[in-house]
Structure 1
């Protein structure tokens, strides 16, 4: 079957949708993907490209543009997304459509991280010993009934279970609790069943965290999570660098250690003789004391900081002494746990957790030093815990070693991969060479007539000026009066979000919804339903908000989303770029902020019929030289600094 028979007028998509609109960018993208996957009739060149990077802006229909050729290729393909939401959308909506159009089964399987599935062994242990949890928890009976009918064990099916439920942490199939081949529930294990099905599937739908967790596991030589595959397609590929950084570093958490001690105590009291428990408890108490002594070294405010700076302050001798004491305590407990494997299979899992904690702490605290140019080591101090980490400064060498050289085809796509019309940033950060094929497909939406970009005029203060917050709130209030609510306000910090929400609630008549006061799903459902409401948010709401229609008629962004340069990983990468003779602000910080801004702006137009105003409340777009890079990266909307133009824009919509 030819791709033209699917994507052009008179094709399968046109026959399926009564309001079908032909998109040349969608067909062109599908041809690029098809060529890379070995469909010769889709290729304009002799040699299919190994690496393909495609920016497909909102409205192109990129998901179908890669799913159709992936299925037609007959190859084993992994589709990796940044979010569970997109993963679920592909499985629940897009793949069924492709199967209907092509009249064939996709033989697809959705795979998520282990923590998304229930562990039957942990569940039966909890039910047999209710004192391990509140025995009158109503969710227990609901889960019992669910287990009688579920075929996946996926917590996404448990709509009644709170997102932060402490119950789920006691029963999820986390790798640190897995007994492997020694588990008595192995034959019924949902993870085991999933892996068997994965071997037979043509298409695996995963997320970036699972994909790179699998690559890290394979690279360490300790096994794998995914079966072999011939090609991988990354959607939301602008997240790849951050996810690779997470899985190819090391992490030690004080909370993980305390959690391990608590689990050992629970298990000991259930399975060991009282005299053996009495022998074990002093070691556990001693480890708790050493953990508290270790965390006391981390004085000062909460936040993320370079670890080398802390070591310099407390001196290397004090640091090593505290680390060695903690390592000895972990090793001593680990040795004792090894003697108890005769009492049950679950003790082996506890031994493994202790060993991993010891190894990670040793690596971060003692083995990686300030002279190691490939990693940055840092710590995060929280209210009740400390986390130590190492992060690779560059992920390009990692990607070449573990991904590009081990897969036939690698395709990266997103609505936002370029800055100022250039792929230079992605080329540099992901190590994409001259053999990589690049393509950009602009949005087919009519931004010139359906949108307006508002930037405050010359009298508006810069974000670092004293009166910025008051002017921001005053101007946004005026905009919301003209838009009749219907606005998503994206802030660059939680503090700014809370301050602005408080002011708006006192000054506008519309409902003000604020991130964190309800679940994201509930907030978006209410925002969609209450057409004149205002949603104030930060962080994850810059992406993944897909609300077409009148409810979202205005996107307001408080300021350009530059990251805090004091973050230890960001700071180390900036210093590395500077030491190579390049300007980190223009080659690193500006591109990252541009990509974030493009994601936020992209929340406005989700369908061809949508129309609305984008308001970016940052005059640096006009006053600073780098402002032109941001403006070149935005949709081709008419630009104004006049409130009257916003009023005219919406009056025009009313009169149409």
Structure 2
């Protein structure tokens, strides 16, 4: 669904009027107040402080005494910290490729910590993965606080849906509980949540130590559309606002990319009034290789059948006679209007679903959305007016707030459908996609570099980007062109690891992935190379269908060897698979997209990374196709300018899972003969530091 705008001020509340006309007349001479001004802050040379911290004999040398890793001087780490210090001093943007092993989190945290002694506005650190956020907040920052001796505040920022809402919970556990819960069995969850509330200190979803249905949490969590802010009777004890207060007073705020880009979109739409995060004075984006895709996702338009139907079911679900409008006194005609809208929601998305099925595609560009019938908007408009009239007679503030939230969403759906059907999002690709049993509609911007240049890289604060993989053939040109990075410099750091720590094997007789014999060869070569390391392997796939077939065909082989086969998409979550892989040293993990990046398994458990196929994006996906078509219109070769560098970067990410420390050793296996048979194959092999051997 469309992401709602989340204002700091509650709905209907305006700032105090402080205009000259409204102010009472006063004579300034009547006031004679002597003010005591604080002395200006002492200038701090952040670069010198960083150099002293990382130098041999500096504070970092004592890290092991406080539970950190033993000290080793890393010139790349010092160079990175110094470059960030210079960027902070000058207010310039900075883009850094920091290979694994540089110690990049310390390299950017230390300048930000020294900055906190004189900066009025906090620093925002945004990461892609939860693992890195937890590492920063729970390990790195506490350790650096001890080592620097500086008392600074750090806070972890999460979206409001991560916090329990006391008001919504009170409504769910009150006398209307049975009507409001979609299923009777969820009443057990409400009881568990009630007992948990008695001892939780933060109200965070992640701190729940029992199984909870996602549907229950969605009904009880904090929700922007239904939040009353300071007008809420539970405001003083609100988990979410208590967390936000800690963000406002923090020197360093750690967030994820989803929250950061949601905040960025809200600032673009409504200015500071729509901001979720504090008024930051510097932004540091770690794991910045996902910048373009994250921005495209959050700066675009999204509608889903699931989202619309879920909102209508919240009002009234005719299948189980539950919902807000089952409340005593609600007009049955209102429930009928909701049921009609729900039917039309299915009717609106069905033609899109049929087109996907006819073309046997999971995603398809919709070049003329207006040709698809739309009776849903009229039904939602009618429902909107009826709900607004119904609310005029409601005195229960909490109930009224819940209905108003659904009213807001109805308006958002109406606007979103209009924007999609009339193609009002400029320079975007419009497409339908089938996902998880639902159908969604997207309008994704193609001018991300222009948007980011304006919204991010031309602001009054420096933006620092860092990742282990940003360059192609040691050049930032591709990355900066796609992301719009400007107003600053780039820095490419050397790897602290040796080229002799890994070896690359390429089978001589491997067929081309398009050949009929490829799957059989894949199932022959995977066991061959897994045996070299006695398990301990990641096998990375580019499609789930190929992963499933290979896993099914080789399951008995792995069982016979006594090596546990862990398969993405079966019984365990991604984090559960990773945990089991680390604990069972000889296990083998088959993974797709999410295991190519953001996974850290140092030591013997991961000694072998097998790349089954070069990771080219599917060219038929509407977003990929539209990006390539745009380049062709500009006179560029879309394969050379987009497909190839994207694949090289992802290849580097996948191979980068292997060597995570100076002590790691292992092998990389590439089961795609295009690295030796195609002219562009050399570009992949040149992108990694290890020597290859044909076997």
**TM-score between both structures, scaled by the size of structure 1:** 0.90
1:520 aligns with 2:570: no
In the alignment, the residues of structure 2 paired with residue 119 and residue 351 of structure 1 have an alpha-carbon distance, to the nearest angstrom, of 19
1:92 aligns with 2:138: yes
**What's 1:492 paired with?**
542
- State the aligned residue count: 614
In the alignment, the residues of structure 2 paired with residue 528 and residue 51 of structure 1 have an alpha-carbon distance, to the nearest angstrom, of 38
In the alignment, the residues of structure 2 paired with residue 139 and residue 94 of structure 1 have an alpha-carbon distance, to the nearest angstrom, of 36
- Give per-residue Cα distances to partners, 1:189-228, cap 9 Å, x unaligned: 2222222222211111011110110111111116110121
**What's 1:304 paired with?**
363
Q: 1:117 aligns with which of 144, 149, 163?
A: 163
- Displacement after TM superposition at 1:484 (Å): 0.4
**What's 1:631 paired with?**
685
1:10 aligns with 2:57: yes
**What's 1:650 paired with?**
none
In the alignment, the residues of structure 1 paired with residue 98 and residue 187 of structure 2 have an alpha-carbon distance, to the nearest angstrom, of 47
Secondary structure class of the residue paired with 1:296: helix
- Displacement after TM superposition at 1:428 (Å): 0.6
Range 187-196 or range 54-63, more displaced: 187-196
- Displacement after TM superposition at 1:138 (Å): 5.2
Distance 1:106 1:183, change over 3 A: same
* Correspondences of 1:508-547 after superposition (within 5 Å): 508=558, 509=561, 510-516=563-569, 517-547=571-601
- Displacement after TM superposition at 1:124 (Å): 1.9
Q: 2:421 aligns with which of 355, 358, 365?
A: 365
In the alignment, the residues of structure 1 paired with residue 381 and residue 623 of structure 2 have an alpha-carbon distance, to the nearest angstrom, of 30
Distance 1:456 1:603, change over 3 A: same
- Displacement after TM superposition at 1:455 (Å): 1.5
Distance 1:626 1:308, change over 3 A: same
- Displacement after TM superposition at 1:111 (Å): 0.5
**What's 1:191 paired with?**
240
In the alignment, the residues of structure 2 paired with residue 480 and residue 177 of structure 1 have an alpha-carbon distance, to the nearest angstrom, of 53
* Correspondences of 1:110-259 after superposition (within 5 Å): 110-128=156-174, 129-131=176-178, 132=181, 133-134=183-184, 139-161=189-211, 165-221=214-270, 223-259=274-310
**What's 1:559 paired with?**
613
In the alignment, the residues of structure 2 paired with residue 526 and residue 345 of structure 1 have an alpha-carbon distance, to the nearest angstrom, of 44
- Displacement after TM superposition at 1:100 (Å): 1.2
**What's 2:638 paired with?**
584
Gaps of 5+ in 2: 1-47, 317-321, 395-399
Distance 1:367 1:530, change over 3 A: closer
- Displacement after TM superposition at 1:620 (Å): 0.9
- Displacement after TM superposition at 1:290 (Å): 1.6
**What's 1:380 paired with?**
433
Secondary structure class of the residue paired with 2:110: helix
- Displacement after TM superposition at 1:145 (Å): 3.3
- Is the Cα contact below 8 Å between 1:531 and 1:550 reproduced in 2? yes
1:447 aligns with 2:494: no
- Give per-residue Cα distances to partners, 1:62-86, cap 9 Å, x unaligned: 0000001011012321001112221
**What's 1:294 paired with?**
348
In the alignment, the residues of structure 2 paired with residue 166 and residue 497 of structure 1 have an alpha-carbon distance, to the nearest angstrom, of 30
- Give per-residue Cα distances to partners, 1:480-502, cap 9 Å, x unaligned: 11210011111111111111212
**What's 2:384 paired with?**
334
In the alignment, the residues of structure 2 paired with residue 177 and residue 537 of structure 1 have an alpha-carbon distance, to the nearest angstrom, of 39
* Correspondences of 1:69-80 after superposition (within 5 Å): 69-74=111-116, 75=119, 76-80=122-126
Q: What RMSD over aligned residues (CA atoms) do the two structures have, in Å?
A: 1.9
**TM-score between both structures, scaled by the size of structure 2:** 0.85
Secondary structure class of the residue paired with 2:491: strand
- Displacement after TM superposition at 1:429 (Å): 0.8
Gaps of 5+ in 1: 39-47, 643-656
1:571 aligns with 2:625: yes
In the alignment, the residues of structure 2 paired with residue 505 and residue 447 of structure 1 have an alpha-carbon distance, to the nearest angstrom, of 34
In the alignment, the residues of structure 2 paired with residue 387 and residue 136 of structure 1 have an alpha-carbon distance, to the nearest angstrom, of 27
- Is the Cα contact below 8 Å between 1:182 and 1:345 reproduced in 2? no
- Displacement after TM superposition at 1:49 (Å): 5.5
Distance 1:534 1:625, change over 3 A: same
- Displacement after TM superposition at 1:50 (Å): 1.3
Distance 1:282 1:391, change over 3 A: same
- Displacement after TM superposition at 1:237 (Å): 0.4
In the alignment, the residues of structure 2 paired with residue 327 and residue 377 of structure 1 have an alpha-carbon distance, to the nearest angstrom, of 19
1:549 aligns with 2:591: no
Secondary structure class of the residue paired with 1:345: helix
